[in-house]
Chain A
Amino acid sequence: MSKLGLIIQREYLTRVTRRTFILATILTPLGFLVFFVVVGFIFQYQSDDTKRIAILDEGNILKKNIKDERNLYFKFVEEPLDSLRKNFKESDYDGILQLRPVKNVFDKNYVAYYYSTKPPTLDLETLIASRVENSLRDYKIESLKLERKQLDALDTRVELDPEPIDPTKANASKLTGGIAAGIGGLMGIIMYMTVFIYGMMVMRSVMEEKTSRIVEVMISSVRPFQLMLGKIIGVGAVGLTQVAIWAILIPLLSLLVNLMFGFDTSQMNVPQANTEVNPDDMNALMALAMRELSSQNWWLILPLFIFYFLGGYFLYSSLFAAVGSAMGDDLGEGQALTLPITIPVIIAFYIMIVAVQAPNSSLAVWSSIFPLFSPIVMPARLAFQPPLWEIITSMLVLVATCIFFVWLSGRIYRVGILLYGKKVTMKELGKWMFYKD
């Protein structure tokens, strides 16, 4: 085997056989799932705190008509407020809701009074407010003698259905944009995380080799460039392995959890009060979403995703390797050196968020060609079917930049790894590039 092959093999095998790698690879998806299960339980949890509320409907707004809720019981009373308040301790009520008469039907504000020893909880407040609001609406319709049917006709729901100019092309649905944004955002986030995780892994490994002094032994057998490249490729292969395992494990495990606990992890959005979605609508929507997902050109998106993963990884990890070689054993000291690398990654992340909303804006287009941003921004745009020339240009620029950066980092690396006990500035790193061998 060639020396480079030996180095790659060692870098790969020592990592994937390490107990921490195996644990992290298996436990991370499990951890996510445990998190989702716990969150699911929390959101499904319903208050077991029973409350009885006396309603003093002075304005006759509710018209004796309010439904009890789970753990929540209403009772209309006729007693005056004063005696209710006086006898509150002896009564088994937790609160008194006073609804005063409506003075002016055109007044858009109405205050309901709630008397209790403890202030109302948030969910109680929202519930009562929405009930009173609905009743007030009916009350006002009646008082103003309006026609309910006409009123209902005023609320119109508008949807935008995108249609292609070319009638032979596939019809996009109202979900196309959303689904594409979802896929794009997810890919962008994965790219952002992997660039950081594995780039940092390369940097730490270079630092370890330097501080453990193995590096001088190594480079008396191999060229520093071979050592650096072998490490980058080896760690990159570790990253691909891990991502591939997760790509299989996460859907598998979430399916398992769905079957076991009977709730969908996609329901974990922050619960909104009173959004009553018709379950039939929901099912139709899901079916449409599935159809949209399967209509994506995965044969293009996935290989390109892997390409940009490798491109972004090579570009940034070579820079991390160069910085790692310049650092001593003090991670904090190297902060000033890692900052110039992390800033473009973070900027790219923010551009990605904007690009998902406006995938054809000039910011999105140019960022997906600029090589420091393209590995994160372009995958986010792929689901929006960017023009072919943009993809090809972006790929060519990325490949050229990768080669250049790996070469450049090699120049810095070979000087850095042999230098000890000196705090290095960015300026010196620049000078190292031009050193003779």
Chain B
Amino acid sequence: MTDSNYILKLDNVVKSYEKQIAVNHVSFNVPKGKIFGLLGPNGAGKTSLIRIITTITRADEGTVWLDGEKLNSRHPEQIGYMPEERGLYKKMKVGDHLMYLAQLKGLSKATAKQEIDYWLEKFQIQDWWGKKVEELSKGMQQKAQFIATVIHRPKLLILDEPFSGLDPINANLIKDEIDELNKNGTSIIFSTHRMEQVEEICDNIVLINKGRNILDGDVKAIKNQFKENLFKIDYEGALPPEIGTMANIVKQTEGSVTLQLPDAKLSNQLLQTLLQKGIYIQAFNEILPTLNEIFIKQVEDSNAFGI
């Protein structure tokens, strides 16, 4: 892929604070129009990275490109950022508040008004305009916060733990909006440590631990890279003894066995053998590692090797 295929490029970015190095020579690329997962345990340096991308802080070393341009002070208007620790001015009216944040993002008064009307209508909350933020429930405030984040139609949307504190209904609503924005071309960075959401939502990921990039790439490719050629078979009948020579039995229960093959391509051969022996196969699945497992393993490995 050429540079124009990336909305964001990080090249050897370093950020150190008084006592520790928060970001240690990190490089990765975020493809345009994709949902990108920024993963890592607590304290890995995710927030430090995001603050550099959003121009809140500056990198000590290295370069960041946004849509082919070196990061500069005009870029915040093209980025929408919803921090994990989020809040609104409690005494302000929802409409005034959204107008304020939209204008700070460079929208004119008229455009801001138009966009706010669009979103309030979309969420069917037109009557919120005159309500004070403190009168809203927490879930409702999150919705307002989400609108504030996307009101200026950013090229790049950065969401830090966007579902924390949301009930399942509102979480789904926001998830649908994220999908729709993504379909309309918005690139999204999704920072979290909740792996089940990543698997569901993200196309690409980068895994950060102790300020370093320890893994990045396409989600499917990563899962394939880390697969251990495990197959789970549900069956009826007695397993032939020669199975033990073909594969390693990892786990066996009544009517179910998990096998590890030396090579994934041997799966057909295995299936053939079982069928020839007249065993009734109910299910035959390759077990791919979950991102959670990869995550934990990689973090533990990198900690163990002291990388």
| A interface residue numbers (CB < 8 A to B) | 1, 3, 6-7, 10, 14, 18, 209, 212-214, 216-223, 418, 420, 431, 435-437
Residues from 63 to 93 in B contacting A, C-beta threshold 8 Å? 73, 76-77, 79, 81-83, 85-92
* Contact of B18 with A437 in the complex, beta carbons under 8 Å: no
Select one of B56, B87, B92 contacting A418, CB under 8 A. Answer: B56
Question: How many Å lie between the Cα of A222 and that of B100 in the bound state?
Answer: 12
Select one of B77, B86, B91 contacting A216, CB under 8 A. Answer: B86
* Contact of A213 with B87 in the complex, beta carbons under 8 Å: yes
* Contact of A213 with B85 in the complex, beta carbons under 8 Å: yes
Question: Can you give 12 A-B contacts (C-beta < 8 A)?
Answer: A6-B103, A6-B104, A213-B83, A213-B85, A214-B88, A214-B89, A220-B83, A221-B101, A221-B104, A435-B18, A437-B57, A437-B58
* Contact of B148 with A217 in the complex, beta carbons under 8 Å: yes
Measured CB to CB, the closest approach of chain B to A398, in angstroms, equals 31
B34 sits at the interface (CB 8 A): no
* Contact of B56 with A219 in the complex, beta carbons under 8 Å: yes
Chain B CB count within 10 A is highest, among A212, A217, A221, A418, for: A221
* Contact of B79 with A436 in the complex, beta carbons under 8 Å: no
Question: How many Å lie between the Cα of A217 and that of B85 in the bound state?
Answer: 9
Measured CB to CB, the closest approach of chain A to B45, in angstroms, equals 14
Q: Chain B residues near A437: list those with CB within 8 A.
A: 57-58
Question: How many Å lie between the Cα of A436 and that of B145 in the bound state?
Answer: 30
Measured CB to CB, the closest approach of chain B to A108, in angstroms, equals 70
* B interface bracket (residues with beta carbon within 8 Å of A): 20 to 34
* Contact of A14 with B89 in the complex, beta carbons under 8 Å: yes
Q: Chain B residues near A3: list those with CB within 8 A.
A: 104
* Contact of B56 with A220 in the complex, beta carbons under 8 Å: yes
B54 sits at the interface (CB 8 A): yes
Measured CB to CB, the closest approach of chain B to A159, in angstroms, equals 59
Chain B CB count within 10 A is highest, among A3, A216, A437, for: A216
Q: Chain A residues near B77: list those with CB within 8 A.
A: 221
Q: Chain B residues near A223: list those with CB within 8 A.
A: 73
Question: How many Å lie between the Cα of A138 and that of B262 in the bound state?
Answer: 131
Besides the known contacts A6-B103, A217-B101, 4 further A-B residue pairs in the complex with CB atoms under 8 A apart:
A214-B86, A216-B56, A220-B81, A222-B104
Q: Chain A residues near B83: list those with CB within 8 A.
A: 213, 216-217, 220
* Contact of A212 with B92 in the complex, beta carbons under 8 Å: no
* Contact of A10 with B100 in the complex, beta carbons under 8 Å: yes
* Contact of A221 with B85 in the complex, beta carbons under 8 Å: no
Select one of B73, B76, B79, B87 contacting A214, CB under 8 A. Answer: B87
Q: Chain B residues near A418: list those with CB within 8 A.
A: 51, 56
* Contact of A221 with B92 in the complex, beta carbons under 8 Å: no
By beta carbon, the residue of chain A nearest B160 is A216
By beta carbon, the residue of chain A nearest B105 is A221
Q: Chain B residues near A435: list those with CB within 8 A.
A: 18
Using an 8 Å CB-CB cutoff, how does the interface string of B9-24 with A read, 1 for contact, 0 for none? 0000000001000000
* Contact of B18 with A431 in the complex, beta carbons under 8 Å: yes
Question: How many Å lie between the Cα of A222 and that of B51 in the bound state?
Answer: 13
Chain B CB count within 10 A is highest, among A1, A18, A220, for: A220
* Contact of B91 with A14 in the complex, beta carbons under 8 Å: yes
Question: How many Å lie between the Cα of A437 and that of B104 in the bound state?
Answer: 21
Question: How many Å lie between the Cα of A70 and that of B79 in the bound state?
Answer: 83
* Contact of A1 with B60 in the complex, beta carbons under 8 Å: no
Measured CB to CB, the closest approach of chain B to A314, in angstroms, equals 23
Q: Chain A residues near B91: list those with CB within 8 A.
A: 14, 18
Select one of A1, A212, A219, A431 contacting B87, CB under 8 A. Answer: A212
* Contact of B76 with A212 in the complex, beta carbons under 8 Å: no
Measured CB to CB, the closest approach of chain A to B245, in angstroms, equals 59
Measured CB to CB, the closest approach of chain A to B121, in angstroms, equals 23
Question: How many Å lie between the Cα of A213 and that of B83 in the bound state?
Answer: 9
* Contact of B58 with A216 in the complex, beta carbons under 8 Å: no
Question: How many Å lie between the Cα of A210 and that of B44 in the bound state?
Answer: 23
Question: How many Å lie between the Cα of A36 and that of B179 in the bound state?
Answer: 67
By beta carbon, the residue of chain A nearest B77 is A221
Question: How many Å lie between the Cα of A221 and that of B81 in the bound state?
Answer: 9
Question: How many Å lie between the Cα of A221 and that of B86 in the bound state?
Answer: 14
Q: Chain B residues near A221: list those with CB within 8 A.
A: 76-77, 101, 104-105
Question: How many Å lie between the Cα of A111 and that of B14 in the bound state?
Answer: 92
Measured CB to CB, the closest approach of chain A to B70, in angstroms, equals 16
Measured CB to CB, the closest approach of chain B to A10, in angstroms, equals 6
* Contact of B104 with A212 in the complex, beta carbons under 8 Å: no
Task: Identify the 6 closest CB pairs spanning chains A and B, nearest first.
Answer: A213-B87, A212-B87, A220-B81, A221-B104, A216-B83, A437-B58
Select one of A212, A219, A220, A222 contacting B89, CB under 8 A. Answer: A212
